[in-house]
């Protein structure tokens, strides 16, 4: 029974740690399926997290913070699009530039506004997304098995967690069942086919990176106003890259990407649990090693599996009409 | 309405109706290149209209303007007598113009149906339009006997079928005018015949077809009218029935051209190249050449025919020493020179194997180099080009000038950047580099791809001259005409295997075409016998 509770707690933590990864991975998917490499997820997430925390602090409302985060990431997406789509720049370089820019800019503005060494002030309860108790959760709380699963695991998360999990089927539906999705996938495979079908390639790609911006903005806001209670310098700590890895590992598809995010989230949650735990035969596991696990796994998975993943054909290639 | 129109055409009364397309004074420049010079063109409704011209004559540019891919600098487009402002593909589609591009505009990972509806989905949610599209597709397939599974993934289809998807796409958009840009370049002769039957059906249904090609045979076989372009200008319009290939080629080139290569019989002597059970794998481990065995003797040209991508490229690259061999033996004048076992491209060259690769820009030259640098590639360690540890640029310049005069490379300037020569002149320079070393064996792939007719004639003559000088020549080409006019013996490759051999004297397009499609040679000859 104690093990069962432990599992429930671990899974509960998994949902929380995988939420930002899911949102960011979907963001990456929208961008990359349209042919634009989005290495800037990391920097955008950071920018979103900062905007959300700063605005939520001033307005004392997490929703306005969320909107600010999304506005920031859309602006960054448009910047990325301007460099990569309009001016046909190198997409990797543009992405890395945004990451470096945001790492510095968030700290700079943070210090200028709050003078707390790059942090934002701790947010009040009212300025953060609060846990939501699902209907009937209290009632079934004490029922064995079902009780803990419903009350502990499914209920009691903040709204962004639920949005993230609902975003996966929604993204799937948009991608595979709508005209927008069809055109988006086509423009990432063969932009010439889209152009000759009378659809603007540039407009299509811009719309895709804007979708990407909306999703990654939510992921940033989650870090600073839902999971945490303030912005910390470089608080994303590579989550943008991990989300990108999860998306690649999930072969640019929503549900496999979700599975990959859950795996990474689980490792993250397990790492927290394992800190200080004495494992039989090994002894106490060093904290650093445990924390490195998700990253090590990323490398292993990518090295082992990426060879079989087939990216969108036009990924990374700006569209130039042939002469 | 369409019936009466059709009848009017049946009686040849074309003057009474508006032409389907009329271009007036179309002019287009790309920087210094004057791609289209005040072009006038009339295409009658319900006809198949051919546009011929050499590579770079401006045919594709003109059609791209008509389809809204580029905008003309001057001139007007009239469709069905109405002035049209075509600023993008969507405008062209709206006035009923459909285009089948030379490089297919298909999404290979999508099923046929999704490719067809792309851009005309019929609603924000796909489900709304898909059922209607499926019905419409089935109707079109029946009507034009296109015969395609709407749920097949396009990337899995053969090239011929992919082309039909392109045609379906245009018809689904309600195209009344269909433009096809070099449609037969990637097809077997049988597939091309099928395409022409489809075009004939389209014509019967009252559609107008514009066929762009550089193959005169297709113009003669399939079109009603033909327009000829040369160096960006429209030089002539003819009724196909009233012209001849000779006249058309003269109009295309601007002077008389010998269409049929004149060459004497071969006098084959000793075996120079002997290939036994050769197998070649590509980087992914897929076997591209399967148990190829053949020989090439001194004083003969052996041609390898086949649809592009059936292992010819890999075979040629292996024999040239730039791709390692998985199994089998290659002998040159009785000595084992199997590539990969201590024998590389440089060693083969030392032993008298010259190699003109298929892809001129990727493998035969560095286009950013000057002509003289390009002219010594692969032979840069020749003592004649050395002065101490440095290259002797004077000697190299002289050698290049010599090659240029011998092979009529224009402009004859060894310092000009290779990229600034036309395709034909680049190819002549490459051939000069290889042939003037006086090799025992010449391996040559696609010698006239992207080369103008005048240069083709010259290149073919030089290859025959090699043969007559008692050298062995192995020719790989996807152009059947080229193989049939040059080769003394023809080997046909299909799916990596050499499926059979035909003497040039017995070869004809149908037999070779069937063999290229994988039909056993004896069976192919039997089929030919019956018809």
Model's pTM, two decimal places?
0.80
Mean pLDDT of chain B: 88
Give residue B6's pLDDT band: very low, low, confident or very high (50, 70, 90).
Answer: very low
pLDDT per residue over B217-228, tens digit each?
889 999 999 999
Provide, for chain A, the percentages of residues in helix, strand and coil under a 3-state DSSP scheme, each rounded to the nearest 5.
70, 0, 25
pLDDT value for B11: 39
Lookup result for tokens 């058309």 = B248
Touching check for B33 and chain A: CB below 8 Å?
Answer: no
Look at A274 and B98; give whichever has higher pLDDT: B98
Q: Cis (ω within 30 of 0) for the bond into B239?
A: no
- Nearest residue, CB atoms, B106 vs list A183, A190, A321: A190
Flag whether pLDDT at A322 surpasses 50: yes
Contact at 8 Å (CB) between A269 and A78? Answer: no
Taking an 8 Å cut-off on Cβ atoms, the answer to whether A313 and B126 are in contact is: no
- d(CA B458, nearest CA chain A) in Å: 28
- Tell me if chain A has a CB within 8 Å of the CB of B101: yes
Report the C-alpha gap between B172 and B136 in whole angstroms: 7
| Element (DSSP H or E) covering residue B51 | strand B48-52
Smallest CA–CA distance, residue B285 to chain A, in Å, is: 14
pLDDT of residue B58: 86
CB distance B110–A178 less than 8 Å?
A: no
Please list every residue in chain B whose beta carbon sits closer than 8 Å to the beta carbon of residue A315: none
Task: Report the share of chain A in percent with pLDDT over 70.
Answer: 97
Q: In this complex, do A196 and B99 lie within 8 Å of one another by their Cβ atoms?
A: yes
pLDDT higher at A264 or A101: A101
| Strand-strand pairing, B177-181 and B208-213 | parallel
Q: Is A38:A224 a contact under the CB 8 Å cutoff?
A: no
Phi, psi dihedral angles at B96 (to 5 degrees): 90, 25
pLDDT at B403: 94
Q: Is A26 helix (H, G, I), strand (E, B) or coil?
A: helix
How confident is the model over B198-241, as pLDDT tens digits?
Answer: 999 999 999 999 999 888 888 999 999 999 998 889 999 999 99
A2-308 sits in which CATH class?
mainly alpha
Residues B480-498: pLDDT tens digits?
888 999 999 999 998 899 9
Q: Is the pLDDT of residue B101 over 50?
A: yes
pLDDT at B369: 92
Q: Quick check: B222 and B211 in contact, CB under 8 A?
A: yes
Contact B89 A196 (CB under 8 A): yes
| Per-chain mean pLDDT for chain A | 91
Asked if B99 has any chain A CB less than 8 Å from its own CB, the reply is yes
Parallel, antiparallel, or unpaired for β B225-230 and B48-52? Answer: parallel
Query: Which residue in this structure is represented by tokens 């390009």?
Result: B374
Q: How far is Cα B190 from Cα B490, in angstroms, rounded to an integer?
A: 18
Q: B147 in the Ramachandran plot: left (φ > 0), alpha (ψ -120 to 50) or beta?
A: left
Give the start-end residues of each E strand in B308-417: 327-332, 335-336, 353-356, 386-387, 390-391
pLDDT in tens, B51-83: 998 777 888 889 999 999 889 999 999 999 999
Record the tokens describing residue B450, joined without a space.
Answer: 């992207």
pLDDT at A23 over 70: yes
* Residue A217: predicted pLDDT: 97
Backbone angles phi, psi at A61, to 5 degrees: -145, 120
Instruction: Express each pLDDT in A259-310 by its tens digit.
Output: 999 998 988 888 887 777 777 777 777 777 777 877 787 778 767 665 567 8
Does the CA dihedral B434-B438-B439-B441 come out positive or negative? positive
Instruction: List chain B residues with CB under 8 Å of A323.
Output: 30
Taking the Cβ of residue B105 and every Cβ of chain A, the question of whether any pair is shorter than 8 Å is answered with yes
With contact defined as beta carbons under 8 Å apart, do B399 and B375 qualify? Answer: yes
Closest CA to B446 of B185, B260, B61, B266: B185
Distance from CA of A181 to the nearest CA of B (A): 9
| Amino acid A94: pLDDT | 97
Interface ipTM:
0.88
Which of B199, B229, B202, B235 is CA-nearest to residue B213? B229
Structure tokens, A89:
């720049």
CB A26 within 8 A of CB A83: no
**Domain edges within chain A:** 2-308
Residue among A164, A161, A170, A167 nearest A134 (CA): A161
pLDDT in tens, B138-153: 999 888 888 889 999 9
Q: Is B121 on the interface with A (CB under 8 A)?
A: yes
pLDDT of residue B457: 86
Question: Quick check: A128 and A229 in contact, CB under 8 A?
Answer: yes
Q: B180 — phi, psi (to 5°)?
A: -120, 125
**Residues B76-89 as b or e (16 or more Cβ within 10 Å = b):** ebbbbeeebebebb
Which DSSP symbol is given to B111?
B
**Cα nearest neighbour of B173 on chain A:** A197
Partner-chain contact A199 B67, CB within 8 Å: no
CATH assignment of B2-253, given 3.40.50.300, 1.10.357.10, 2.60.40.150, 3.40.50.620? 3.40.50.300
Residue B154 has a pLDDT of 94
Predicted pLDDT at B259: 64
Question: Per DSSP, what are the bridge partners of residue B34?
Answer: B29
The CATH number given to B271-359+439-530 is 3.40.50.300
């Amino acid at each position: 029974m104690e093990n069962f509770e432990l599992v429930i707690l671990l899974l509960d933590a998994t949902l929380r740690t995988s939420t930002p990864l899911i949102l960011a991975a979907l963001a990456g998917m929208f961008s990359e399926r349209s042919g634009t490499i989005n290495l800037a997820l990391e920097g955008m997430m950071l920018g979103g997290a900062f905007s959300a925390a700063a605005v939520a602090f001033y307005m004392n409302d997490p929703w306005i913070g969320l909107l600010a985060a999304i506005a920031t990431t859309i602006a960054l997406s448009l910047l990325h699009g301007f460099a990569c789509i309009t001016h046909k720049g190198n997409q990797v370089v543009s992405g890395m530039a945004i990451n470096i820019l945001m790492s510095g800019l968030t700290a700079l503005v943070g210090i200028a506004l709050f003078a707390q060494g790059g942090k934002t002030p701790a947010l009040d309860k009212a300025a953060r997304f609060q846990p939501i108790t699902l209907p009937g959760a209290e009632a079934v709380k004490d029922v064995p098995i079902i009780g803990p699963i419903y009350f502990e695991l499914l209920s009691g998360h903040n709204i962004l967690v639920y949005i993230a999990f609902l975003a996966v089927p929604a993204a799937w539906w948009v991608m595979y069942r709508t005209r927008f999705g069809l055109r988006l996938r086509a423009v990432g495979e063969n932009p010439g086919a889209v152009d000759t079908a009378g659809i603007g390639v540039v407009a299509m790609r811009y719309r895709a990176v804007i979708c990407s911006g909306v999703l990654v903005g939510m992921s940033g806001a989650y870090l600073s106003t839902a999971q945490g209670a303030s912005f910390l310098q470089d608080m994303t700590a590579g989550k943008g890259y991990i989300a990108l890895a999860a998306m690649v590992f999930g072969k640019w598809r929503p549900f496999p990407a979700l599975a990959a995010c859950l795996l990474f989230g689980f490792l993250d949650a397990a790492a927290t649990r394992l800190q200080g735990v004495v494992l039989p035969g090994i002894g106490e596991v060093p904290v650093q090693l445990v924390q490195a696990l998700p990253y090590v796994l990323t490398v292993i998975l990518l090295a082992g599996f990426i060879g079989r993943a087939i990216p969108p054909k036009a990924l990374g290639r700006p569209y130039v009409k042939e002469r | 309405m369409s019936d009466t129109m059709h009848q009017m055409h049946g009686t040849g009364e074309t003057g009474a109706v508006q032409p389907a397309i009329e271009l007036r004074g179309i002019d287009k420049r790309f920087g210094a290149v004057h791609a289209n010079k005040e072009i006038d063109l009339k295409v009658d409704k319900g006809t198949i209209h051919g546009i011929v011209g050499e590579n770079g004559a401006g045919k594709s540019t003109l059609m791209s303007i008509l389809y809204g891919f580029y905008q003309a600098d001057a001139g007007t487009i009239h469709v069905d007598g109405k002035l049209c402002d075509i600023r993008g593909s969507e405008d062209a589609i709206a006035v009923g113009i459909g285009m089948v591009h030379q490089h297919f505009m298909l999404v290979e990972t999508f099923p046929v149906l999704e490719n067809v509806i792309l851009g005309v989905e019929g609603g924000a949610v796909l489900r709304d339009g898909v059922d209607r599209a499926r019905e419409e597709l089935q109707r079109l397939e029946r009507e034009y006997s296109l015969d395609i599974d709407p749920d097949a993934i396009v990337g899995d289809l053969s090239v011929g079928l992919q082309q039909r998807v392109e045609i379906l796409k245009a018809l689904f958009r309600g195209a009344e005018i269909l433009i096809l840009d070099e449609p037969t370049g990637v097809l077997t002769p049988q597939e091309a015949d099928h395409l022409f039957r489809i075009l004939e059906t389209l014509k019967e249904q009252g559609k107008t077809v514009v066929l762009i090609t550089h193959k005169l045979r297709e113009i003669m076989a399939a079109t009603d009218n033909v327009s000829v372009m040369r160096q960006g200008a429209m030089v002539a319009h003819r009724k196909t029935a009233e012209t001849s290939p000779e006249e058309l080629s003269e109009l295309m080139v601007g002077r008389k051209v010998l269409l049929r290569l004149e060459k004497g019989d071969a006098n084959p002597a000793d075996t120079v190249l002997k290939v036994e059970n050769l197998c070649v794998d590509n980087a992914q481990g897929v076997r591209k050449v399967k148990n190829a065995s053949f020989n090439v003797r001194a004083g003969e040209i052996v041609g390898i025919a086949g649809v592009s991508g059936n292992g010819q490229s890999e075979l040629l690259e292996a024999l040239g020493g730039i791709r390692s061999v998985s199994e089998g033996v290659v002998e040159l004048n009785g000595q084992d020179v199997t590539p990969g076992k201590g024998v590389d491209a440089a060693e083969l060259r030392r032993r008298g194997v010259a190699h003109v690769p298929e892809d001129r820009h990727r493998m035969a030259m560095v286009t950013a180099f000057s002509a003289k640098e390009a002219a010594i590639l692969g032979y840069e360690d020749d003592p004649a080009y050395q002065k101490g540890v440095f290259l002797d640029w004077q000697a190299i310049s002289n050698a290049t000038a010599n090659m240029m005069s011998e092979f009529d490379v224009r402009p004859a300037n060894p310092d000009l950047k290779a990229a600034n020569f036309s395709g034909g002149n680049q190819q002549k320079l490459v051939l000069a580099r290889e042939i003037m070393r006086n090799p025992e064996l010449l391996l040559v792939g696609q010698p006239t791809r992207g080369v103008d007719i005048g240069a083709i004639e010259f290149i073919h003559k030089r290859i025959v001259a090699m043969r007559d000088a008692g050298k062995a020549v192995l020719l790989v080409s996807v152009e059947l005409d080229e193989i049939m006019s040059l080769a003394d013996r023809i080997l046909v490759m299909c799916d990596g295997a050499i499926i059979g051999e035909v003497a040039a004297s017995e070869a004809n397009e149908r037999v070779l075409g069937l063999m290229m499609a994988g039909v056993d040679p004896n069976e192919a000859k039997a089929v030919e016998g019956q018809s």
